Structure 1
Amino acid sequence: MDPQATCPCWGYLSRLQVRTWLEPVVFSTQVASSLYDAGLLLVLHESFGGRVSNHTASPSPRESLEDQGQKAISNFYIIYNIVTGLTPLLPAYILGWLSDRYHRKISICVALLGLLLCRLMLLFKVLWDWPVEVMYVAVALNGLCGGLSAYWAGVIALGSLGSSEGRRSVRLIFIDLMMGLGGFCGSMASGHLFQQMSERAWQGLVLTVCSVSCASFALFYSLLVLKVPESVAKARKALPAVDTVSGTIGTYRSLDPDQPGTQSVVGHPPPGKAKSPRTMIVLLFLGAIIYDVAVVGTVDVMPLFVLRAPLSWNQVQVGYGMAAGYIIFITSFLGVLVFSRCCRDTTMIMIGMVSFGSGAFLLCFVKETYMFYLARGVMLFALIPITTIRSAMSKLIKDSSYGKVFVILQLFLTLAWVVTSTMYNEIYQFTMEKFVGTCFALSSSLSFLAIVPIGIMAYKQTSWLKHADITKT
């Protein structure tokens, strides 16, 4: 039997040379990141918990030691997230421009160097008991190297280059699947690794060493092994750009090239639709930003939420909870495999937004651990929107502009994340004694709101394709 018929992924994997595979870099980087994220949270919990108990002998009736520790961690993350989001703005754009102009690996390699330095600083903090404020310097160094904005833009650019338009959604979601598997493995192990050292002062040493090791592997693999794939678009025969009858330039690409007979339309564009691709890009940007704001509101508050009553998780349970979030990468991958056969990109995006919004709404009322996992289970397609938006956007731009466009999108998302993270942390501090699910309710509302620009784009796309069919007949 043909392996391509039994495994949907085999078709494009077989066309790629092994050295062009991004999966080892993405997997090892995400293992390092998940270990780092869990380690930083647990180190902060231990550090600020000790500070509060040492400096507060008799807490006020309204404010317990637990709430004071929560506020201290929340305040740390406000500054930490601002530094994380603002420092990469200019470096990431410069790296994206250099990648487009000189070599595609520049943004990935430089960003991975910054990620490695950041993880080394957490190792030194645990090893020599540095103050937690040193992590501000660590994340600033990471940002000056481009941070996740440059890294992820580079990954998406290489993934897009090595895939055809028809299979790009599957290709990019497969990369996300590798990231999810790496995050799942790292998160599952994080709680156990954190407890390996019996001495309280050195708790987390084994975890941070493993994080540094994985980050080092990713950097050296990308430098010495990874090879830039040949552009699939260049290998294909160029589409005609000029109507031989009318002489009018009129080549457009739809957002759903998998649909037979709608891969391109040559001829007169509909009246007032000459800038349809630009309009679609703007709508995609808007939908991505609103949805990302919704996701950030839940993801940033969730670690604090599970550490306090009524859940009050320990280190191992925190790792398992983070691992549950990475299961979404697997279910989203399977969702794209199924939905891409019968749905347009816009439909898949809206399915993912409804999935996340419904799960965030259920989180508002979580009182027991099983309820938390039930809410996370409803979010099984939450990863589809952003990945599919990137895929749809790549079909509207030239491959020579991938680096700049994806960096701009990532920087917009990062700026939105900085503002949202600060806002949500403040809201969480203000409402955690009244209604701790306030942030989740707000995230749910924004997730459903993000459907509006995607729905408008779907309507415009449908009407434009109908007009194109009429023109061709």
Structure 2
Amino acid sequence: MKRLLFVEPVIAIYSFASFMLYPLVQQYVYRRLWLEITNSSYPESDNTSRCSSNSSNRTGQQEEVQKAASLFSTYSELFSLIPSLVMTLLLVAYSDQRGRKITISMPLIGSLIYTCSFLAVSFFELNVYLLIAANFASALFGGIGTMLGGCFTYVADLCDNDQQKTLRMAVIDMVIGFMAGVASISTGYYLRTAGFNWPFFTSAMLQLLNLLYVIFILEESKVVDKSQIVACCQALRRLASGIYNLFAGGHNKRSWILVLMILTLSTFSFSNTGGLSSITLYELNKPLCWSEILVGYGSAASTTVFITSFIGLYMFTRCLPNIAIIYIGMLSVVIGMTATAFAKTTLVMFLVRIPSMFAIMPFPILRSMMSKLVSKSEQGALFACVAFMENLTSNVASAVFSSIYAETVAWCPGFVFLLGALLCIIPMSLLGILWCIHPADSNDTEGLLSENETEASEDAPVA
């Protein structure tokens, strides 16, 4: 059977299954905590029933549920942080030695474990805090950062042309957004019609199907000579050596540029991920009080930024330098989050997605710029570091912003969005420094720098 060199179907199925699960997780935990704290069933008849009561007792109970749900998210992120980071770094870098498929398949196994655990807790009505342990077990196989790191490395193996590499990485982001939007819209109706168990089961089956595709259909992008496969200890030494040579073994200018790019990507990811981590709780809270249907539509509206960002990226790359495009994306996030903080009606909450239409553009541009600076033999080490930092900042941001939301929900629910917008000053400042060190008004300079540094890295000794 002829195998395929298309990683996009993996991303598509993974995104649909994951974004079917993410809104369900917060809503399931929210409803379980509502039942435990208020000793009353969760109202599902309309949008206003939970907010119609003006009694201080009901308002206090709702704020208590919001705080408990936010702290639950904090604990879940913290317990999964360390194993996810370690496995991301090891698996993505190790793919230089053993091929990319191991980096893609391991997170799928973890996601399958995670989804099945939710199904078990929901079906048997087990203690909701068992989900934190399930999140920890899933993190032992890597996470979404590991998956994306493996897929971007896979694409980097296949693309020799710089523009093709940028666009194909942007296509991956667009596929994520499109499938996430479809999943978000369908999840609300699926939840209202069938409850939690069937959506959890569907997500688990999709993850299993995806795993089978990776194992039996997806072609390995990096051919590995089996005679060169080494023992585990020696492989770990090579990993450490590869990461060290990435920053210390090459030209000093390249090292500084890579560090600045990774810091820019990480701090922007922290601001963006953190600011949006509590948006579902914000929508469930007063004065919006959205139903599961509206939450689904809201999530779908948010994911359209992946598509609009791809269109914007395709258009802007024809007339603007890379760093200018990144600035546009960051400003889009700042304006969108600031508007979200003051959204008090359903119409405005949907409209605030418009200013955020270019929010994803910085990610594929920065990844592509970094990939151009290293040789093919260093792609795994590079994307291991990138995935590690993205995973670290995303998990820490979710935990930190969830804690802040729990403390500020009573007096200013939109504070976390204002904080996320304010923190975007950091990556924008780093980007300004990068522009001074490595002007982006000519793509030829990037190609020359990549070529020179590739030669230097290939001449560097390997332990």
**Cα drift, residue 415 of structure 1:** 2.0
Question: Once the 2 structures are TM-superposed, how far is the Cα of residue 191 of structure 1 from its aligned partner?
Answer: 0.8
Name the counterpart of 2:268. 291
Are the equivalent residues in 2 in contact too, given 1:22–1:226 (CA < 8 A)? yes
How many residue pairs get aligned? The number is 406
Provide the secondary structure at the position in 1 that maps to 2:344.
Answer: coil
Aligned counterpart, 1:176: 173
Q: Does 1:39 align with 2:24?
A: yes
State the one-letter code of the partner of 1:391. Answer: S
1:280 and 2:277 matched: no
Counterpart of 1:50, as a letter, is: L
Are the structure 2 counterparts of residues 450 and 103 from structure 1 closer, same or farther at C-alpha, using a change threshold of 3 Å?
A: same
Q: What is the distance in 2 between the residues matched to 1:62 and 1:221?
A: 49
For the Cα contact (< 8 Å) 2:181–2:299, is it kept in 1? yes
Q: 1:73 corresponds to which residue?
A: 69
Q: Which amino acid aligns with 1:142?
A: S
Identify which of 380, 384, 389 aligns with 1:403. 380
1:220 aligns with 2:173: no
Higher deviation after alignment, 158-167 or 69-78: 158-167
Whether 2:127 is the aligned partner of 1:135: answer: no
**Matched residue, 2:323:** 346
Question: Who is 1:448 aligned against?
Answer: 425
Q: Which residue of 2 aligns with 1:437?
A: 414
C-alpha distance in 2, partners of 1:359/1:381?
10
Deviation digits for residues 285-330 of structure 1 (CA, Å, limit 9, x no counterpart)? 1211211111122211211100011100011111111111110110
Deviations 1:241-298 (A, max 9, x none): xxxxxxxxxxxxxxxxxxxxxxxxxxxxxxxx95222111111112112111111222
Letter in 1 for 2:9: P
- In the TM superposition, residue 435 of structure 1 has moved relative to its aligned partner by 1.9
**What SS does the aligned partner of 1:26 have?**
helix
- Name the stretch that deviates more: 409-418 or 204-213: 409-418
Within the alignment, does 1:324 sit opposite 2:285 as a pair?
no
Q: Deviation at 1:414? A: 2.1
Return closer, same or farther for 1:457/1:50 CA change in 2, 3 Å cut-off. same
* Alpha-carbon distance, 1:333 to partner: 0.7
8 A Cα contact 1:196 1:206, kept in partner: no
Query: In the TM superposition, what whole-angstrom CA distance separates every residue of 1:353-410 from its partner, at most 9, and x where no partner exists?
Result: 0111111111121111111111111100101112211111111112222222212222
Residue by residue, what CA displacement relative to the aligned partner does 1:4-46 show, whole Å, maximum 9, x if unpaired? xxxxxxxxxxxxx981111111000011101111211121121
- Separation in 2, partners of 1:40, 1:392: 35
**C-alpha distance in structure 2 between counterparts of 1:211 and 1:19, whole Å:** 24
For the 8 Å contact 1:353–1:448, the answer to whether it is kept is: no
Identity of aligned residues (%): 25
CA contact (8 A) 1:19 1:225 kept: yes
1:51–1:127 CA distance, 2 compared to 1 (3 A): same
For residues 440 and 139 of structure 2, what CA distance do their matches in structure 1 show?
A: 43
In 1, the alpha carbon distance for the partners of 2:88 and 2:196 equals 31
**Counterpart in the other structure of 1:166:** 163
Deviating beyond 3 angstroms after TM superposition, the runs of 4 or more aligned structure 1 residues are 59-63, 463-469
Query: 1:468/1:65 Cα in 2 relative to 1: closer, same or farther (>3 Å)?
Result: closer
Residue 114 (structure 1) aligned with residue 106 (structure 2): no
Which of structures 1 and 2 has the larger relative contact order (alpha carbons within 8 angstroms, sep 6+)? 2
Map 1:264-279 onto structure 2 (within 5 A).
275-279=252-256
Q: Distance in 1 between matches of 2:273 and 2:393?
A: 9
How far apart are 1:134 and its partner, in Å? 1.5
Q: CA deviation at 1:124?
A: 1.1
Aligned letter for 1:186? A
Q: Name the CA shift for 1:43/1:467 in 2 (closer, same or farther; >3 Å).
A: closer
Question: Aligned residue for 2:12?
Answer: 27
Alignment of 1:354-365 (within 5 A): 354-365=331-342
| TM-score of the pair, normalised by structure 1 | 0.81
3-state DSSP class of the match of 2:298?
A: helix
**SS of the counterpart of 1:167?**
helix
Aligned CA-pair RMSD: 2.5
One-letter identity of the residue aligned with 1:340: T
- TM norm structure 2: 0.83
Q: How far, CA to CA, are the matches of 2:319 and 2:87 in structure 1?
A: 40
Q: Which sits farther off after the overlay, 313-322 or 125-134?
A: 125-134
Residue in 1 that maps onto 2:197: 205
Aligned equivalents of 1:463 and 1:346: distance in 2? 6
Give me the whole-angstrom Cα distance separating, in 1, the residues matched to 2:171 and 2:85.
27
After superposition, residues 190-269 of structure 1 pair within 5 angstroms as 190-197=187-194, 203-229=195-221
Deviation of 1:457 after TM superposition, in Å, equals: 1.3
Cα separation, 2, equivalents of 1:30 and 1:148: 10
In the TM superposition, residue 420 of structure 1 has moved relative to its aligned partner by 2.4
- Tell me how far 1:149 sits from its aligned partner: 2.3
Contact 2:104 2:151 in 1 (8 A): yes
State how 1:58-97 maps to structure 2 within 5 Å.
64-97=60-93
Alignment correspondent of 2:95: 99
- Give, in whole Å, the separation in 1 of the partners of 2:254 and 2:30: 48
How does 1:362-381 map onto structure 2 within 5 Å?
Answer: 362-381=339-358
Measure the CA separation in 1 of the matches of 2:296 and 2:94.
38
Gaps of 5+ in 2: 42-54, 224-249, 449-463
Q: Which amino acid aligns with 2:426?
A: L
| 1:115 maps to amino acid | S
Q: 2:146 & 2:443 partners in 1: Cα distance?
A: 39
**Aligned residue number for residue 238 of structure 2:** none
> Matches of 1:304 and 1:465 in 2, distance apart?
44
1:377-392 correspondence to structure 2 within 5 Å? 377-392=354-369
